[in-house]
C-alpha cells in the first residue's frame, strides 16, 4: 500500500478520532482523512416547484417521485429530475445513483466485498426505474455529463438535481435570477437515522515510504485542527474535515448555511473512496443501469450482472 497506516500515529499522539468527519480505511488501515469536502445535496428549483404545486420539499423517495411527476411537462421540455450516465465520466453512478443508497444509511458493500444484489441497491435501481417509467427524467440519460446536468438546471429545464455544493456560485453566475434551495437526498419510508451525504474531497495521507512520517503526521494534525481547518475550507468554499470547525461562509451565505445544516445532521458517505479501480466499477454499473433503463433487463438482473463484474475486480 502506498499510504501509511495512521492508526498507530493517532494512538501514540492521543489524537481524537471523533473530530474527523470521515476516516478512509483500506484493509482496516486508516490511510486518509478528508481535509475539505464538497457535499452533494439535492438542488430544487423553487419557482418550478411552486408552479407545479409542490409546497413541501420531498424528504422521502415517494415524495420525490410525486414532486418529479408534478414538475414534469414534456411538452415544454421541462422535467422533474436529471440523471447523467455518460460512460465518458461515470461519476453519475456515485453521485446520482448510489447516493440514494447511502442517504438511507445503507451500503453497496458487505464485509469489504460488493453486495449489489442486496435489497438496498436493488431497491434504489427499482426507484430510479420508476422515475424513468413515469417520464420524469430529462431525455438523453446515456450520453449526459455532469456539466450538461448543471446546464439544464441553470436553464430551468429540470426541477431537481443532485449536485456538488461547489457549483453554487457557478449556478448563480450563470443564472442570477434562479431561485433554488438545497435539501438532503430523500430516504426510504420510515427511515429516521442519520442521512449519508455523498461527497468528494481533498484527502490527506502519509506516504508509506516516507522517512519523515513523524513530521508528516504533525502537518496532518495541523491541517485537521479546528481553527486551521476552518480557515482552509473557508477559502475553498468546502466543508471541514474537522467536525468542530465552522467555515465563515455558512453565516454569510444562505445556501451554504442550509447545506452546512444538512452536513451537520448527516454523515459523509462515499463507498467508492479507497476502492480498487473505482472508475472501472462505476463504468460497469453504469452499463447495467443503462440496459435496465432501456427496458432490456430488470433491476434484479442489472444488480446481478454488475455484481459479477465487480467481484472479478476484487
pLDDT reported for residue 275: 86
pLDDT along the chain (314 residues), means of 10: 94 97 93 96 98 97 98 98 97 98 98 96 98 98 98 98 94 97 97 95 96 98 98 92 94 92 94 90 98 98 98 94
Query: ∠ CA(150), CA(151), CA(155), 5° rounding?
Result: 120
Q: What angle do CA 277, 279, 282 make, to 5 degrees?
A: 115
Reduce the DSSP state of residue 157 to 3 states and report it: coil
Calculated CA dihedral for residues 64, 158, 103, 111, nearest 10 degrees: 120
pTM for the complete prediction? 0.92
Extents of the domains making up the chain: 42-196+277-313, 199-268
**Under 8 Å between Cβ of 290 and 85:** yes
SS3 state at 53: coil
3-state helix, strand, coil in the chain (%, to 5): 45, 20, 35
Specify which residues 236 forms β-bridges with: none
Handedness of CA 56, 250, 96, 120 (dihedral sign): negative
CATH 3.40.50.970 fits 42-196+277-313, yes or no: no
Amino acid at each position: 500500500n502506498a499510504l501509511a497506516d495512521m492508526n498507530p500515529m493517532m494512538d501514540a499522539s492521543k489524537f481524537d478520532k471523533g473530530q474527523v468527519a470521515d476516516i478512509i480505511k483500506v484493509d482496516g488501515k486508516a490511510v486518509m482523512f478528508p481535509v475539505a469536502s464538497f457535499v452533494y445535496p439535492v438542488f430544487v428549483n423553487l419557482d418550478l416547484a411552486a408552479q407545479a404545486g409542490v409546497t413541501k420539499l420531498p424528504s422521502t423517495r415517494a415524495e420525490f417521485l410525486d414532486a418529479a411527476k408534478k414538475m414534469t411537462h414534456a411538452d415544454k421540455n421541462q422535467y422533474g429530475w436529471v440523471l447523467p450516465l455518460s460512460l465518458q465520466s461515470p461519476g453519475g453512478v456515485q453521485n446520482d445513483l448510489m447516493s440514494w443508497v447511502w442517504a438511507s444509511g445503507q451500503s453497496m458493500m458487505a464485509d469489504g466485498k460488493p453486495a449489489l444484489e442486496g435489497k438496498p441497491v436493488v431497491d434504489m435501481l427499482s426507484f430510479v426505474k420508476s422515475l424513468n417509467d413515469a417520464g420524469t427524467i430529462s431525455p438523453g440519460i446515456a450520453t449526459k455529463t455532469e456539466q450538461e446536468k448543471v446546464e439544464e438546471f441553470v436553464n430551468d429545464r429540470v426541477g431537481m438535481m443532485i449536485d456538488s455544493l461547489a457549483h453554487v456560485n457557478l449556478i448563480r453566475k450563470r443564472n442570477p435570477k434562479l431561485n433554488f434551495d438545497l435539501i438532503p437526498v430523500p430516504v426510504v419510508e420510515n427511515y429516521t437515522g442519520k442521512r449519508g451525504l455523498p461527497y468528494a474531497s481533498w484527502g490527506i495521507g502519509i506516504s508509506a515510504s516516507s522517512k519523515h512520517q513523524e513530521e508528516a503526521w504533525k502537518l496532518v494534525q495541523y491541517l485537521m485542527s479546528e481553527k486551521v481547518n476552518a480557515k482552509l475550507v473557508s477559502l475553498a468554499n468546502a466543508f471541514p474535515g474537522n467536525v468542530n470547525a465552522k467555515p465563515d461562509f455558512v453565516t454569510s451565505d444562505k445556501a451554504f448555511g442550509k447545506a452546512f445544516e444538512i452536513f451537520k445532521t448527516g454523515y459523509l458517505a462515499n463507498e467508492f473512496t479507497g476502492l480498487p479501480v473505482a472508475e472501472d466499477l462505476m463504468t460497469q454499473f453504469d452499463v447495467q443501469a443503462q440496459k435496465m433503463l432501456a427496458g432490456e433487463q430488470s433491476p434484479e438482473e442489472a444488480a446481478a450482472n454488475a455484481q459479477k463484474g465487480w467481484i472479478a475486480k476484487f
